[in-house]
Amino acid sequence: MKKVERINTIMRYINNRSHFTISEIMREFNVSRSTAIRDIREIEAMGMPLVAEVGRDGGYFVMQNSVLPVVRFTDNEVKALFVAFMATRNQQLPYLKSRQSLAEKLLGLISENQQDDLVHLNEILLFEGTNPNNPDLLELSDLPHPMLERLIGLLLVDQHLMITIHEAKEKKDYPIYLLHLYREKGFWLIEGFDLKEEKMKIILVDHLIDVNPYQTKKRVSKKKIQEKLSGQEEVINLVLELGPTAIAQFKKYHPLKISISYTDPFQTTAILKTFINVHHSEELTEITNWLLFLGSDIKVIEMPKEVLEGLQERISIFY
């Protein structure tokens, strides 16, 4: 481990402890006593408020309520942060109202040489969703749905929510316990337990009109919800064997709830098992399109007749 990396790691190590000794530093970071002492002195010189305790069992502790020095980043750490930041362009993520100020602050923490490297990376790296005609990180605007940050703010306090959505040209209220908030195919989705109907519900964030805490004494614990859901386990009705070409297509894209199990050590064959709600027209259409996307390198073991009919109908269009 390089010196800069070691010192940064030691700073995080001692900042998370009320007390530490030179012997602990030697043991944890596999360094000599003289190296440990030099590192501690350098950390003190950077401004970390350490207080030494004398005596046989003496050591150090960090003064409370003190401002700690800025952690230094290695060249590779800076690049990793910047590349991750670049990769989120046009993703409509929460809390990114000002990409320019975030980028400027990151650039302000690093040296001129590191800044030059990042400018070069920004010129040559393009990610999915980047407009090649305007790839400049500081000129893009990708604000998420206005309700997304409010939703996240509320669920950090309480996952029991009352949501109001557009449905069938009218407003509808649903009391839910929010289990997951995820992004799929460019859309933010709520996976929640409907507290009234006692079943799972998937809701598009774009359909949200309002969201508020669910003010009721009839709360349901997460454990109880999981017990109810486990009692409603869906029966597997789609089973496929996938060959290497289909596996490659699966890796490019697959619905969030669908996974595969490899059946050979080289991961060239796999089995797919899932439940398809054939009474949900949107899900049926999506799965039909996706199966066509997988291609012909699949073997059907079990498939609902509705899915099979949908595939036959789609294929007949081309013949």
Residue 129 has pLDDT above 90, yes or no: no
**Mean pLDDT across 225-240:** 78
Continuous segment of H or E residues that includes residue 184: strand 170-184
Confidence of residue 10 (pLDDT cuts 50, 70, 90): confident
The reported pLDDT for the residue numbered 58 is 63
Q: Is the pTM of this model over 0.75?
A: no
- In the chain, the amino acid numbered 239 is V
Instruction: Decide: 154 and 162 in contact? Cβ < 8 Å.
Output: no
Residue 53 confidence (pLDDT): 73
| Paired tokens of 239 | 């089973």
* β partners of residue 163: 174, 211
Kindly report the average pLDDT of the chain as a whole number: 81
Is residue 131 within 8 A of residue 174, CB to CB? The reply is no
Tell me the CA distances in angstroms from 38 to 31, 33, 49, 60, 64, one per residue in order: 11, 9, 16, 14, 23
Phi and psi at 195, nearest 5°, equal -70, -20
Selection from 195, 190, 296 nearest residue 241 by Cα: 296
Give residue limits of the domains in the chain.
3-62, 75-139, 146-230, 238-316
Give the pairing type, strands 270-274 and 238-242.
Answer: antiparallel
- pLDDT tens by residue, 243-288: 999 999 998 888 877 889 999 888 999 999 988 888 777 788 889 9
Residue 139 pLDDT > 90, yes or no? no
How many whole angstroms from its chain centre is CA 48?
33
Q: What is the pLDDT of residue 234?
A: 63
Tens digit of each residue's pLDDT (9 = 90 or more) over 141-200: 566 778 888 899 898 888 999 999 887 678 889 999 998 888 876 778 888 888 888 888
The Cα–Cα gap between 164 and 276 comes to: 27
* Position 56, amino acid: R
Both tokens assigned to 288: 């039909």
**Residues 79-103 pLDDT 10s:** 888 888 877 776 777 877 666 677 7
- Please check the confidence at residue 140 and state whether its pLDDT lies above 50: no
Q: Looking at domain 3-62, which CATH architecture does it have?
A: Orthogonal Bundle (1.10)
pLDDT digits (tens, 9 = 90+) for 57-84: 567 877 765 555 555 677 888 888 888 8
Q: Which of 272, 297, 301 is nearest to 287 (CA)?
A: 272
Residues 6+ apart with CB under 8 A from 200: 191, 192, 193, 194, 229, 232
Q: How many CB atoms are closer than 10 A to CB 91? A: 14
- What phi, psi does 155 have (nearest 5°)? -70, -20
Considering the domain delimited by 146-230, tell me its CATH architecture. Roll (2.30)
Find out whether 228 and 195 touch, Cβ atoms under 8 Å.
no
Look at 245 and 9; give whichever has higher pLDDT: 245
Q: Which helix (H) or strand (E) holds 16?
A: none
Q: Which of 162, 177, 152, 166 is nearest to 95 (CA)?
A: 152
